[in-house]
Amino acid sequence: MAVKTKIIKIDPALVEFDKIKIVAEVLQEEGLIAYPTDTFYGLGASCFSEKAIQRIYHLKKRETSKPISLIISDINMARDIAKDIPSLFWKMAGEFWPGPLTLVLEASSTLPASLLGPGGSIGIRQPALSWIRELLNETAFPITATSANISGEKEISNPEIIRDSFFGLVDLIVDGGETRGALPSTVVDLTSEKPVILREGTVPRSVLGKYLK
């Protein structure tokens, strides 16, 4: 069934509080948004909304066995969605956040199981863009950060392609113009005794060396 999609234009370099409130209301009502990140466009939904999360899996044609990562407004928001957080997390987050490093932790029981990775884990990061962090302050909960594309296909940086692909499928498209694109975030698993790089992206292995010993 087609969705009545709204479109709002923003300048990602600014923090426009009136527009951020509009976006936050959609997320608070368990809606689904397409929004510009510091790399490509993503699909955003409340991390606590099973209904919205299932919509993401359906739209992306994503295997339900594949987890979805989250973004948070600040380092303290990690406590709401993770448990048994190791001291290494605070050190790595302190050095690399906000930025393109996703850290995998043991998820708390508050999160839907459909989001989680092996052993009940969740990947989280603090995004570099100020407007997104302010959006997360407004919603007061983390949101999903999966790329706005069909699983296995190229990520999208062009807002016109986002409109063509997702109009009538998401509740709100946040048009922030062309995103810069880049390598994806580096993903480091902190759920075992020794940190493991699951995906090398923007933050290279050489920079992380002191944490991997």
Over the stretch 22-49, which tens digit does the pLDDT of each residue have? 999 999 999 999 999 988 999 999 999 9
Strand ranges inside 80-141, DSSP E = 82-83, 101-107, 121-125
User: Considering only CA atoms, which of 170, 160, 194 is closest in space to residue 34?
Assistant: 170
Q: What is the CATH number of the domain that holds 135?
A: 3.90.870.10
Structure tokens at 139: 């919603």
The structure's pTM equals: 0.94
pLDDT given at position 1: 61
Q: Evaluate whether residue 59 is within a structural domain.
A: yes
pLDDT in tens, 79-97: 999 999 999 999 999 999 9
| Per-residue burial over 48-68, b = 16 or more CB atoms within 10 Å of its CB, e = otherwise | bbeebbebbbebbebeeeebb
Q: Indicate if the pLDDT at residue 9 is higher than 80.
A: yes
pLDDT given at position 2: 78
Q: Evaluate whether residue 181 is within a structural domain.
A: yes
Q: Evaluate whether residue 118 is within a structural domain.
A: yes
Q: Indicate if the pLDDT at residue 181 is higher than 90.
A: no
pLDDT in tens, 113-139: 999 999 999 999 999 999 999 999 999
pLDDT in tens, 134-168: 999 999 999 999 999 999 899 999 999 999 999 99
- Find the domain containing 12 and state its range: 6-212
Angstrom CA distances, 4 to 117, 171, 213, stand at 32, 6, 51
Q: Evaluate whether residue 112 is within a structural domain.
A: yes
User: Structurally, how many domains does the chain consist of?
Assistant: 1
Strand ranges inside 10-109, DSSP E = 33-36, 41-44, 70-71, 82-83, 101-107
pLDDT in tens, 10-23: 999 999 999 999 99
Q: Evaluate whether residue 1 is within a structural domain.
A: no
